[in-house]
Amino acid sequence: MKIRKLKAGSLQFAILISAIIAVLLSVFVILVNAHTLFSKKSDLLIETVQQADNTIRYSLQNFTTKRDTSFLVLNEAKNITSSFHTSYWGMFGKVYAESKARSKTVEKIALVSGWQTVADRTGLYLKETNTPLIVVGNTKVEGKVYLPKRGVRSGTISGNSYHGNQLIYGNRLRSDTILPKLPTKLLNHLEFLQKMPLPVSNEDYIDISRSKIHINSFSKAVKTLYAREVLNISNVQLTGNIMVRSDTKITVAASSSLKDVILIAPIIEIEAHTKGVFQAIASKKILVGKNTELAYPSVLLINAEDTTKPVLNNTESKQIFIDENSIVKGMICYLQDRTTDRFTPQLIFSKNTEVYGIVYCEQQLELLGSIYGSIYTSGFITKQSGSVYQNHIYNGTISSSELMDEYVGFPFENLDYKVAKWLY
């Protein structure tokens, strides 16, 4: 038997190859374990996100009557817990949901409100006042319409008669002597907003004289911009969880950039050509200039005190006025049970104005533009050639079918509540 001798370098080479193989196997095992761990963590994160979504959906059940805070255990097997808090942000509901799994925490915040299918949606609800609706000129009323007992007729103003082929393009139903009511919880919140005390800590305020850009997440405490006198918002960017308050008047310039904030003052004036998405809540007047564009979900709202004193002039009239060629997407509301101002409309839509959403007016409105959505009102007024015409619509358009099916913003009880917008 012949014995071959191997060189020492061959042994070293074999050992090197073995070491490389061992390292590669170790790396492979580590990669497999890391991938498995990452996959488990990813699955847990995905499940936590899904649980936060489920918590939002759960919170929308009976939103208008729900207690402010609830706590849930959604997945005991994986120890995923969720809590949520319901409140309001202006006219919209707000839901904050938080899901936790081990070291993972997922937060989600949403604006919510009522939703209706196109088939269920109301085009016009005109309160029963024993006065018929009169349509004149190029008026068109389309959709499901609730009318007084005396129904609808065609009329004439300054020699202009009704031009349509039908008086109503849709189903007619009988209205009641009261408008559908907004939730008591929402009305209480709106009243509180106009009377709530100012923050105590200086950290809760923002100063636009020092910085023109302010962004505040809805997961943090609300920030306040406040002035006793007239507050001019110009060349300023305000975004998020911010309230702008004045004891007298707020003026919004076209140079401003407002997103998701709330304005609160007795009088709010929005200058011509302004663009933004915000909620304006006043007690006396809201004036919207020409060519303004307010994106969804914006709100214009007056919550006025009842009055039994006679109104002596137009300067004392409480109203929302929207000038020509302006577009508002969201909600427009005028809330006031009693007033002696019977011959002046409290809500005025000028020519070529467009509203996509819901209009709710407890007094009377003048419609010279187009409402693509729903109107709930106690009556109509139009002023033409020095005369006042009660319950007349002159060249106005109402069409519930023109509003997209996904629109969320009907603040009534007993409706399905859905997400209007995800917050940040």
For residue 9, tell me if it sits in a domain: no
Question: In angstroms, rounded to a whole number, what is the distance separating the alpha carbons of residues 30 and 95?
Answer: 42
pTM listed for this prediction: 0.89
69-92: per-residue pLDDT in tens? 676 766 666 778 889 999 999 999
64 and 146 housed in the same domain: no
82 and 170 housed in the same domain: no
Among 62, 83, 114, the domain boundary falls at 114
Q: Which two tokens stand for residue 231?
A: 């507050």
> Which residue range is the domain that position 101 belongs to?
15-114
221-276: per-residue pLDDT in tens? 999 999 999 999 999 999 999 999 999 999 999 999 999 999 999 999 999 999 99
99 and 181 housed in the same domain: no
For residue 416, tell me if it sits in a domain: no
For residue 348, tell me if it sits in a domain: yes
128 and 83 housed in the same domain: no
206 and 58 housed in the same domain: no
133 and 108 housed in the same domain: no
178 and 226 housed in the same domain: yes
Question: In angstroms, rounded to a whole number, what is the distance separating the alpha carbons of residues 338 and 61?
Answer: 33
The pLDDT value recorded for residue 24 is 82
Number of domains in the chain: 2
Q: Are 394 and 40 in contact (CB under 8 A)?
A: no
320-334: per-residue pLDDT in tens? 999 999 999 999 999
335 and 260 housed in the same domain: yes
Residue ranges of the chain whose pLDDT lies below 50: none
For residue 198, tell me if it sits in a domain: yes
Among 114, 142, 164, the domain boundary falls at 114
For residue 412, tell me if it sits in a domain: no
Question: In angstroms, rounded to a whole number, what is the distance separating the alpha carbons of residues 278 and 291?
Answer: 16
88 and 230 housed in the same domain: no
Bridge partners, residue 233, by sequence: 252
Question: In angstroms, rounded to a whole number, what is the distance separating the alpha carbons of residues 60 and 159?
Answer: 52
239 and 282 housed in the same domain: yes
Among 67, 86, 114, the domain boundary falls at 114
110 and 126 housed in the same domain: no
Give the torsion through C-alpha atoms of 149, 123, 334, 155, to 10 deg: -50
68 and 196 housed in the same domain: no
For residue 414, tell me if it sits in a domain: no
For residue 26, tell me if it sits in a domain: yes
Quickly list DSSP for 373-415: EEEEEEEEEEEETTEEEETEEES-EEESTTS-TT-EEE--SSS
Residue type, position 77, single letter: A
Question: In angstroms, rounded to a whole number, what is the distance separating the alpha carbons of residues 305 and 292?
Answer: 28
For residue 415, tell me if it sits in a domain: no
